[in-house]
Amino acid sequence: MNSSVTRMESEPATTGHSLKVASHYNSIREDGLAVRRRSRIVHMRNFNNWIKSVLISDTLGKVREATAGQAQRSISVLDLGCGKGGDLLKWQKGHIGHLVCADIAEVSVQQCESRYKEMKRRNGKIFKAQFIPADCTKDVLSDHENLRGRLYDVCSSQFVCHYSFESYRQADAMLRNACESLRPGGFFMGTTPDASELVKRLESSDGLEFGNELYSVRFDRKGTYPLFGCQYHFKLEGVVDVPEFLVHFPQLVEMAKKYGMSLRYKKTFSEFFEEKIADRQYRDLLVRMMGLESYPSERSRYPATDRTPGECDHHHAKRHTSHTAGVRLPLGMLSQSEWEAIRLYMVFAFQKDSHSTDLTQREENPNPER
């Protein structure tokens, strides 16, 4: 298998909201580690990266447990919405054998491949990889000539599912790509904004917008929330500034059954953190990844007009991160502003039924746009 970017055959022109998403992520500069470390949300980004690292490690562990009695074979992964390749090192540390990276933003896919080639140059032995620019809410990956017949043990979808909920057909296309080619027992897992938390905060707000100095969420209306096409505008400093759609999770669970998938768990980032931090290896990883800011902080990352260092903003987060689930952590924290943003997200994992067959030939929902 080669590792060059391959365009989808008969790839339709990216239009509408998909064009906005692709243009946004294509335009984000790759500034490098030094610039990222100066960001006000550096520790929040590190914390979110830790969540993904633990989720990936935990899922790969489950795959290996399930296949322990079988003939040895390498693990194959589909990264649905790979972006610029921020998870490549996680897959390398997970000792997988093959990775397919797909994303709507072609520039991001090219940068992902460049990052992979640099890893290969430095490390020598590395998993095989393919890079596919595609709109995974419209294109069918299994139709691609280089992917036909390929099966995966894991599909990872990190912070991208919400773009597919513009319509039933797009959500269904995303699920087909994520689940159709999974082996029985395979996992579809990822991270996404928690629609319940977003709606709760909106309903508690005085208007149509809520947030703090790091993030903002703006809806066009409140009180009614359709299953598909419920758009909001999410802005997170230096990272995201693009419209998204609420993921009605019970609907996602029901739709996934079409592809033989059963929900194994869904948890908020807070719940997942409190569960996994009890594991020594994950606790040590959080320290190495600098997911917490040292306390007391050497400098305030917020303008003096916002708050004074040492005020309740940091004490709030210190309570959450220094003592969790009876586990003593190195003295560290996240600011309340960062913690408020982190609590907008959730992790999820589906597993393909062991007796699953190809269900994609079922008749489409005659009235999908509810």
70-269+347-352: CATH topology is Rossmann fold (3.40.50)
DSSP string, 77-113: EEEET-TTTTTHHHHHHTT-SEEEEEES-HHHHHHHH
pLDDT at 10 (0 to 100) = 39
SS3 state of residue 266:
strand
Can you list the residues of the chain whose pLDDT is less than 50?
A: 1-2, 7-14, 20-26, 33-35, 299-312, 314-317, 331, 358-370
Q: What are phi and psi of 65, to 5 degrees?
A: -65, -40
Q: What's the CA gap between 268 and 195, in Å, rounded?
A: 11
- What digits encode the pLDDT tens for the residues 37-69? 556 788 899 999 999 999 999 999 999 998 876
* H/E segment holding residue 176: helix 168-179
Write down the pTM of the prediction.
0.82
pLDDT at 302: 46
pLDDT in the model for residue 294: 65
- Ramachandran angles phi, psi of 206, nearest 5°: -80, -25
Both tokens assigned to 107? 């520039």
Beta-bridged to residue 293, according to DSSP, are 333
pLDDT one-digit tens code per residue, 69-99? 676 679 999 999 999 999 999 999 999 999 9
**Taking the domains of the chain in order of start, what are their residue ranges?**
70-269+347-352
pLDDT the model gives residue 355: 73
